[in-house]
Structure 1
Amino acid sequence: MKLKENQSALVLEIDDNGEVEVHVASGDHQGVTASICSAIAQKLMTDGDFQGELMATLDCEDVRA
């Protein structure tokens, strides 16, 4: 996927150890969208409460599936 200059995206990847890696892809690494994605990526990697909320959401979706 090619991003426009005003677009950014989070890229989630599972490494060889089963750990999630978070990367930011952007058409403009200095722009607002890149800054927002970077802030979300930082929160994903460092905020244990937020990680727990995400995992709880995934657990709920598994039950509904």
Structure 2
Amino acid sequence: VHLSDNTETARAVGSRYGKPVILTVQAARMQQAGHLFYRSENGVWLADAVPPGYLDVPGAE
């Protein structure tokens, strides 16, 4: 899974493949639960998977 640490970059990258959908990842909770994050040489954050319980939809309450 490709991740971004800011909305602007996520929107720009996502727009390359159509209309982007931006979700918020509860990364601190994931890390505390033992999930690993990696940073590629070009600065992209990666994870093997993001379980649905760690995802939020901005503006949905």
Q: TM-score, normalised by structure 2?
A: 0.23
Bigger radius of gyration: 1
Q: Which has the higher helix share?
A: 1
Q: TM-score, normalised by structure 1?
A: 0.22
